[in-house]
Chains A and B, each alone.
Chain A
């Protein structure tokens, strides 16, 4: 009569794989979140005629039966009422027709527990009780459907809002020229984290509404630049990405050692990388060549002994513009 909350249901990996988002929610949502609270209750000594009036007034088709001290003693459904009507027995007490073998659920239990009971016991509604057995609401299959739909919509909206916000960033912030600047510190010889900055930049661009092709071009260019900083610099360097609706400017800056012959460095296949670096798949002398293929503009400046600055630019065509682009531009053109 007083169901305690079940321990969290264990889900095996195999079962978890096959679970749909709605099913997942039925494990996450608690019964008290979806039930109808303040259930209309009846008492055992009411007549069936009174119950008819209660059901009609509140447009319900069943109700828990509570003893005067508030204990759940039964459930009365519209079927019970029909039986009484057919027997012309509306003056009889509720206790004559109610179901005494009550199946209740605990409000703290996940919705899945209630679903199991609906499937196994062929009941239309379940009284919901708290840990002390006090009735706190009533649950129908309709309540569960509504609760799941609401929760699904909530989850969906959260993700939508995130994407929407990122895409409208440039529109929401008004300036004559808005840019979003991302900076990443790249450590020399840190091959383990090599590529982390590029991944993050690529992800940011996709969230801002860049096409996969643009995100790929920027990703590859930044990745090669990042690897160059890791391989060749004395103290590492900084990658700075300036994202504007119409263009993406990337600078890879370091403070040494610098390139002796910039012209030679740009030649395909030219490399000063060590055997160790070649072993991990880099240092083939193709990095700068790859970058120049991916970007629209590339400028390499270096002073031996001072440092290097690699500037890259990708221009976005009007239909590729990030976010909503510049509204003013659209109007003018």
Chain B
């Protein structure tokens, strides 16, 4: 699926003026805790589905080499978030649906999860 198809699949609205709609989206991740995103994402080119809309969402997505960000429940992000997304060339998308809906819709299109199952052992630190 590419970003253009993603927009269609979730009735999304692109919030930045210009984006590469042909960029491939290879999986998904849904979270409101940015550390969880950074912890579970091992592969690039995913879509981050989140209910948060501060600039850190964009930073997190950029740091994890994500292909797009979907803000659920029709949230209107502050200008700093939109500007940062535009600067990073990251498609920032708003959808009226909730987190559960969007994850379900994307899962139905055959999109895979990029979230790695985390076992308790994985949490152990190097001591």
Count class of interface residues, chain B: 20 to 34
Q: Do A284 and B123 form a contact, CB below 8 Å, given A195-B63, A290-B38?
A: no
Q: A212-B65, A216-B65, A281-B52 are in contact. Are A286 and B33 (CB under 8 A)?
A: yes
Say yes or no for B15: interface residue by CB 8 A criterion: no
**A293 neighbours in B (Cβ, 8 Å):** 39, 122
A268 within 8 A of B: yes
Does B34 lie within 8 Å of A268, measured CB to CB?
Answer: no
B57 touches A281 (CB 8 A): yes
Contact yes or no, A287 B35, CB < 8 A: yes
Q: Are A284 and B36 neighbours in the complex by a CB distance under 8 Å? A: yes
Q: Is the CB of B36 within 8 A of A199?
A: no
Chain B binding surface SS class? helix
A77–B98 alpha-carbon span in the complex (Å): 71
The 8 Å CB contact of B44, one of A212, A266, A267, is: A212
- A266-290 interface (Cβ within 8 A of B): 266-269, 280-282, 284, 286-290
**Chain B min CB distance to A214 (Å):** 12
Is B89 at the interface (CB under 8 A from chain A)?
no
- Nearest residue (CB) in B for A195 is B59
Instruction: Evaluate whether A282 and B34 lie within 8 angstroms (CB atoms) in the complex, with A191-B56, A266-B125 already known.
Output: yes
Query: Which chain B residues border A224 with CB–CB below 8 Å?
Result: 35, 38
Please, how many angstroms separate the alpha-carbon atoms of A198 and B56 in the complex?
Answer: 12
Q: A204–B80 Cα gap in the complex (Å)?
A: 23
Q: Are A286 and B39 in contact (CB under 8 A)?
A: yes
**Inside 8 A of A30's CB, which chain B residues have their CB?**
none
With A191-B54, A191-B56 as contacts: A282 and B63 at CB distance below 8 Å: no
Contact, CB under 8 Å: A281 / B33: yes
Complex: A219 Cα to B125 Cα, angstroms: 19
Q: Which chain A residues border B33 with CB–CB below 8 Å? A: 281-282, 284, 286
- Partner among B63, B88, B123 whose Cβ is within 8 Å of the Cβ of A223: B63
B74 CB-CB contact with A under 8 Å: no
Seed contacts A195-B60, A198-B59, A216-B65; 13 additional CB < 8 Å A-B pairs: A17-B18, A191-B56, A212-B65, A216-B64, A219-B63, A266-B125, A268-B123, A280-B56, A281-B32, A281-B52, A281-B54, A282-B35, A290-B38
Q: How far is the CA of A58 from the CA of B54 in the complex (A)?
A: 68
Q: Does B55 contact A (CB under 8 A)?
A: yes
Task: Judge whether B54 and A298 touch: CB under 8 Å.
Answer: no
Judged by a CB distance under 8 angstroms, whether A292 is at the interface is: yes
Q: How far is the CA of A223 from the CA of B35 in the complex (A)?
A: 10
> In the assembly, what is the distance between CA of A130 and CA of B104, in Å?
66
Tell me whether A281 and B34 are in contact in the complex, defined as CB-CB below 8 angstroms, given that A198-B59, A290-B39 are known contacts. yes
- Residue B126 at the chain A interface, CB threshold 8 Å: yes
B15 CB, nearest partner CB in chain A, Å: 17
Judging by beta carbons under 8 Å apart, are B35 and A284 in contact?
Answer: yes
> Does B62 touch A at the CB level, under 8 Å?
yes
Whether A202 sits at the interface, judged by CB under 8 Å, is yes
Please give me the residue from chain B that is nearest to A223 by CB atom.
B63
Quote the shortest CB–CB distance from B24 to chain A (angstroms). 15
A286–B64 CB distance below 8 A:
no
Indicate if the CB atoms of A220 and B54 lie closer than 8 Å: no
Contact call B52/A280, Cβ cutoff below 8 A: yes
Minimum CB–CB distance for B87 against chain A, Å: 9
| Known contacts A281-B52, A289-B39, A290-B39, A216 near B44 by CB under 8 Å | yes
Q: Point out the residue from B80, B122, B126 that lies within 8 Å of A298, measured CB to CB.
A: B126
Which residues of the partner chain B approach A17 to less than 8 Å between Cβ atoms?
Answer: 18
A212 to B45, CA, bound (A): 12
A12 at the interface (CB under 8 A from B): no
Alpha-carbon gap, A227 to B35, bound state (A): 10
Could you tell me the distance in whole angstroms from the C-beta of A16 to the nearest C-beta in chain B? 10
Scan B48-70; emit 1 where CB is below 8 A from any A CB, else 0.
00101011110110111100000
Q: How far is the CB of A185 from chain B (nearest CB, A)?
A: 17
Q: Show 23 residue pairs from A and B whose CB-CB distance is below 8 angstroms, ordered by the A residue.
A: A17-B18, A191-B54, A195-B62, A199-B62, A199-B63, A199-B88, A223-B59, A223-B63, A227-B56, A269-B123, A280-B56, A281-B35, A281-B50, A281-B57, A282-B33, A282-B35, A282-B56, A284-B35, A284-B36, A286-B35, A288-B125, A290-B35, A292-B125
